[in-house]
Structure formats: structure tokens, C-alpha cells
Amino acid sequence: MRVHSREGVRELAARLLRVKLSIRTRLLAFIILAILGPILASGWFAYERTTALVLESASRDMLDIVQAVSGDLDGLLGQAENDLLTLAMLPQLRDLQDTRRYGLKEEAAVLSGQLGELLAGFIARTGRYRSLAFLEPAGQRVVGAGPELPAAEMAELMARSTKTAAGQVALHQLGAALLMVTAVSGKSDAPIGQLVCELNRPGVARMLSHVNYAGVGYAFLADRQGSFLYHPLAEAMGRRTSDFPGQRDWGFTQLGQVPLADPPRSTELYRGDRWVVALRRLSRAPWGVGLAVQKDELIAKERAVGRQMLLALAFVLMLAIAVVSAISRRLTEPISRLVEGTHALARGDLSVRVEATSGDELADLSETFNLMAGNLQEKEASIQQFIRDLRSTQGQLLQAEKLSAVGQLSAGIAHEINNPLGGIILSARIVERASGSAGVLDFELLRKHCGLIGANVSRAQEIIRALLDYSRKSAEELKLVPIDPNPLIEKTVLLLQHELKKRQFHSRLDSRGIIRTDATRLQQIVVNLLVNAVAATGSSGCVTLETADEYFTESDVRQPGVVPRRVSDPPGADNSGRRLPVRAPTLAPPSFAAGDPALRISVTDDGTGIHPDDLSRIFDPFFTTKPPGEGTGLGLSIVLGMVTAMDGCIHVDTELGRGTTMAIKFPVSHTGPPRESSE
């Protein structure tokens, strides 16, 4: 991640702080950063400092070495100068030149032989020279020992040494040859030729080949342009340092510009990325002797020590990680058990307990957790027992409400049963008279009245069966099954048929939807709504029972669980001509949404309506406007509980003096075949 601003740094820091790390990881990170971090930093600093000190010490030692080697080379060159000047003073050289000038060939030949033997013996004794030769001013070789130089190089040498006077020695480089030249003067001190010696390169090589620093590196000899006059590698001879990868000028150019009379500046130290080079200018030649060592070779021991230190740090790090992990595991294991216990407790496992293995504050915390879990378990058990008792009480209330409704309907039900019983008795008497007469039996009359007896018995059985089904104690748990509510509603109407006959009763069961509901509770809902409608109307009143297919609206699903129970004007306001819609609250968000299909069951009466002051209380338990002894006040409260339990909703539309409509909506699971409207 690239950070371009302070805000980016802050954001990165905030993200790092939000990273969820365990206590063990944080403790381990703290140990590494607080302890091993400084150790690693100090070790790295010590390694770098030691490396720098080693390079400084090696540089000084290398300068001392090249100073000693340059002294040896200067001594070699000084000895060669003395030898050359001594040989230049040999009288045989002048005698040879005189005999040649006067044409004395035999004497010249004898002198040439003697001088050749002398020079050859001198080369053999000293070992410092490859060849010695006496040249006349034109560059022709008069006498000498050792291999001759090519004519072109000889001509170039004579051109360079024309200004060399007697008693002076000039040093020249021709290709790979190192030459020293001095003038030879005659009896009148006039120059008669040049004495040239070529230094023995193997001798110089032997002098430099053993030079190194602690067994590493190599010595070399180069001119002021940086071309090697001697190098351990044969392919490097005559080439510049810049021709090799990883090497540069090494300071030869700067060193070559230093005058010979400036010894303090005759040393140079080059320290590059890969090489350390100590240079010293020779005092007798414009050459430099150097000692080159690669940095890796100089600090090899230190790097080995550094690797050992890194291995030691790695071992310490692993040991620290192991120790810290063991300690942190011992410290955080009780916390981990507490965390697991809280997670189990959050999942509802109240039987979880945390073992306290230590005697510190964590043990106190574990004991407190166990005490809390035990208390919660006891509370949960008492709540479960309370719920069971509540359900039992609720079932008893439901049954009591049913029996209360049965009590209110008992007179009508008795009348409904009495009617078929009266018909049975009348038909039985007619049959009895007919069978007791002396005349011929009227089988047609007997068949007719026996049929009437059977029909009245079936009618009485149907009423009693409906009453028994309604009065049967409901199960505590809801049994939601797909049903068509219309046949159940028709069966329920039988219980109230006597009271409904006294009023104008209209039934329009036009719905086709199939709903998931509890049949027993749906029957109790319809009974309660019809009983309330009958009680609210006079003998000439009108009650309408309807079922229809509709859709849920926004008002049905708005603010689930907190829907207002009352929408009305303030107390004392004029409510004439106003319709007051009320929707009962639900305890949980409904499963339906606006636009979903719904089945509506509504009961409408033209009674007195509900007073606005009572409207907000009609679903409260034990609230009733009936005289004492005529109602329990649980009807609508139970209806509300059953409707919301079956994922339905209730709408109450009421108007004083004009009546009330109680409408219930249930979600439709699927649609059945069409049916004929019933009245």
C-alpha cells in the first residue's frame, strides 16, 4: 500500500489498530518489538560499525604495504640507474666507437666480443635485466646482450631519448617493455650513443606476486593512465582498469598528475562498492604500484560473524517465541475458557461452567461467571415454569371463555334442540295412534313421520355435535393446517342459529382462499365476534357475516409490532358521522407484505357502536361494558391473542349510533375452486 499523505498514514494506523488480535499475539508482538527489536538493531549497528572499522584498518594496512612495495621498486629502479650509469662509463665503449670510426674492423670485432661477454655476464649476475645494448645515435645496435627490440620500437625510443644527457637516466615504456636509457659520451664529452637496458619483467613480477593483504587481493603496477604494466592475469597486461566489469579508474589519473617532488600526495586510497585499492606513486618513475582487494574478501570474517549472529538471533527469537507462547498460553488459557463460556452462554447453553485453575483474579472472574450462569439457569428454569403455568392458565381462560359463550347461548341452543325434540314427540304420537287403531295401517303416513323423526334426530345431533366440538378443550400448542374457513364458519353458525333468527342475519361466504390456521381457535374467534354482534343489536337488528378475498394494504403492515391501537379524536370531540379505524398491535413483524393476497372474515352489526373513550380498551383483558355477571371481558383479548398468533391482523371500524365492523385478515397459502355465495 502506497501512502501519499498524512491522512493516508493515519488511515493505515487506524486500520492496524482495528485489526483483531488475540492477547497471546499482542504479547508476542510486544516481546519481539520491545526486546528482540532493540537487540537486532544494536546487532546490526555493531555489525556495520565493525565492518567500517575493519575497512579502515585494512585500508591503513594496505597503504603501508604499498608504501613498502613502492620502496622496493624504487630501490630496484635506483639500482638499475646506478648500473646503467656505471656501464655507460666503460672505456671499452669509447674504444669500440673509435676503432669503428677509424675502420679497424678486427680490433672492433674483438672489442665487440669482449663487451658482449661483459654485458651478458652482468645480466646473468644481477638478474634484473632482460637485455643490455649500446646504440649509436642513429639507433643502430652496436653491441649488446639479450633479445633485440623491433626496429620500430627502437626508432621511437631514440626519438624519445634525444634530450637525455650524460649522467641522466630516462625511463620509457614501449608496449610491454620497461626501458631505461642514458647517454654515452666520448673523450670530448660529446655523445657517441645511447646505453639501453630493458628491465626483467619476471623479476618485477616475482617482487609483486607475493604481495597481498592477509592472503587476499593482488598487487599491480600501472602507468598514470591506469594501464597495467604488471597484473597477475596475463590478459590484463596493457589494458586499463576501466576495461574490466566492476572496476573504474581507481584514482590513477589523479595520482599521475601529482609531481614527483610531492611525496605526501603520492598515495591514494580508492574505496568503491566492490573494491578497496591502495595506490602509491613511485618516486623514480611516473608509475604507481597498487594493492587491490575486494570488499567481500576483506569483510568475509565479519560477514561470517554476522551470519553467526543472525543464526543466534534466530535461535533466540524462536526460543523467545516458544517461551512467550508457553507463558501467554498459561496466562490466556483461563481467558480463552471464559470467552468460550460466554459464547456458549450467548448461544443459550446455561449449563456451561468455567473451570478455575489458577488462584488469581482470573479465578475470581471464573467463579463469578459460574455464579452468574447458575443464577441465569435458575431464572431460566423459573421462567420456563412460569411460561408453562401461564400456558395452562391461558388454556383455562380460553376454556372458561368458551364455556361462558356456551352459557350465553345455552337458552338458544336448548330452544334449537327442543324444536326437533317436539317434532320427534309429535311424530311418535302420530305413529303410536296409527299403529294402535284397528284399521288398516297407513304405511305412507308411518314412512312420512318416521322420516320426520330421523330428520329431527339428525338436526339435534348436528347441534349437539357442534356444541361439543366448540366446548372441547383446545390444545395448548397451535396446530396450523391449511383449511377452507367457510365450512367451519357454516358449522359455527349453527350454535347461534336461534339468536340469529331473531335478527336479520346475512351470510356471504364468497372467499376461495385456503389459509393456514387452527380450526378450533378460528371457530372460537367467529363465535366471540358473533356473540358480541348479537349482544350489540336489538331484536330487530342486523348482523352480517362475510368472507372475501382481498389484499394486504400498507396500513396492515405499517410499523409492525408498534401499530397504534387507537385512531380517534380527543375525548369530548364531536364524533358524529366519523368512522374510527383501529388495528390491534402485533407482537412480532408479520410475514406478509403489502399487496400479498389475504382472506378477510368480517362481522358487521348495526348496533350502538363503540364509544371513543372505550375504543382504546376493547382489547384489554377483563374490560367489558356489559352489566356485572353477563361477561368476563376476555373475549376480544383472547381473539386478539389468537389472531396475532396465527399471523393475522384485526381492523375495527365503528361509528356511534350506526354500528361496528370487526374484520380479520389472514395470509392466503393458495386458492381453492370457486363456490356459490351463501345467504
Q: Give residue-wise pLDDT tens across range 228-255.
A: 888 888 777 777 766 665 555 455 555 4
pLDDT above 90 covers a percentage of the chain that reads 8
The pLDDT of residue 397 is above 80: no
pLDDT at 581 (0 to 100)? 41
Please compute the mean of the pLDDT values over residues 159-176 and round it to a whole number. Answer: 76
CA distance 278 to 290: 5
Please tell me the least confidently modeled range out of 234-238, 261-265, 464-468. Answer: 261-265
CATH number of the domain residue 595 falls in: 3.30.565.10
Comparing 326-335, 420-429, 556-565, 659-668, the range with the smallest average pLDDT is 556-565
Lowest mean pLDDT among 50-54, 62-66, 92-96, 417-421: 417-421
Give 308 or 144, the one with higher predicted confidence. 144
Q: Where is pLDDT greater, at 341 or 2?
A: 341
Q: Spell out the SS3 assignment of 560-618.
A: CCCCCCCCCCCCCCCCCCCCEEEECCCCCCCCCCCCCEEEEEEEEECCCCCCHHHHCCC
Please state, in angstroms and rounded to a whole number, the distance separating the CA atoms of residues 122 and 114. 12
User: Of 161, 180, 203, which residue is a domain's last?
Assistant: 203
Instruction: Specify the pLDDT at position 448.
Output: 67
Q: What share of the chain is helix, strand, coil (3-state, %, to 5)?
A: 50, 20, 30
Between residues 506 and 21, the one the model is more confident about:
506
Q: Which residues constitute the domain of residue 103?
A: 89-203
| Distance from chain centroid for Cα 81 | 81
**CATH code of the domain covering residue 129:** 3.30.450.20
Within a domain: residue 34?
no
Backbone angles phi, psi at 665, to 5 degrees: -120, 135
Report pLDDT for 466: 58
Mean pLDDT of 461-476: 58
pLDDT digits (tens, 9 = 90+) for 334-385: 777 777 888 888 888 878 887 777 667 777 877 888 888 888 888 888 888 8
Q: How far, in Å, CA of 659 to CA of 610, rounded? A: 8
Report the mean per-residue pLDDT for the chain: 76
Higher pLDDT, 411 or 241: 241
* The pLDDT value given to residue 177: 78
Q: Quote the cell numbers at residue 558.
A: 405499517
Reading the block at residue 147, the C-alpha cell is 633479445
Q: Give domain status of residue 101, yes or no.
A: yes
Of the chain, the percentage scoring pLDDT greater than 70 comes to: 73
Would residue 270 count as lying in a domain? Answer: no
For residues 433 and 562, the model is more confident at 433
β-bridge partners, 504: 542
Q: What is the model's pLDDT at position 142?
A: 87
Other CB atoms within 10 A of residue 120 CB? 15
What is the reported pLDDT for 514? 93
Residue-by-residue DSSP string for 100-157: HHHT-HHHHHHHHHHHHHHHHHHHHHH--EEEEEEE-TTS-EEEEESPPPPHHHHHHH
Q: Does residue 417 surpass a pLDDT of 80? A: no
Give the amino acid at 633: G
Give the best-scoring range by mean pLDDT among 160-169, 254-263, 370-379: 370-379
316 part of a folded domain: no
Residue 396's pLDDT is 66
On whether residue 670 sits in a domain, the answer given is yes
Query: Does any domain span residue 625?
Result: yes
pLDDT at 561 over 50: no
How far is 37 from 47, CA to CA, in rounded Å? Answer: 15
At residue 265, does pLDDT exceed 90? no
Q: What is the pLDDT of residue 284?
A: 80
From residue 161, give the alpha-carbon distance in Å to each of 170, 190, 631, 646: 7, 16, 148, 127
pLDDT tens column, 491-550: 888 877 777 888 888 999 999 999 999 888 888 889 889 888 888 887 778 999 999 999
Asked if 667 contacts 647 with a C-beta cutoff of 8 angstroms, the reply is yes
Alpha carbon distance 295, 56 (integer Å)? 12
Is pLDDT above 50 for 130?
yes
pLDDT in tens, 562-614: 333 333 334 444 444 444 444 444 445 677 888 899 999 999 999 888 888 88
Q: What is the band of 433 on the pLDDT scale with cuts at 50, 70, 90?
A: low
pTM above 0.75, yes or no: no
Query: Is 163 inside a domain boundary?
Result: yes
In this prediction, residue 252 carries a pLDDT of 54
3-state secondary structure of 669: strand
> Which one of 176, 203, 230 terminates a domain?
203
Mean pLDDT of 167-196: 82
Domain boundary among 160, 187, 203: 203
Cell 524462536 sits on residue: 318
Highest mean pLDDT pick, 51-55, 68-72, 464-468, 638-642: 68-72
CA pair distance 235, 647, nearest whole angstrom: 101
Provide mean pLDDT across the span 141-159: 81
- The total number of structural domains in the chain stands at 2
- In this structure, is residue 142 part of a structural domain? yes
What pLDDT, on a 0 to 100 scale, did the predictor assign at position 239? 76
pLDDT number for residue 423: 66
pLDDT, position 663: 93
pLDDT in the model for residue 664: 92
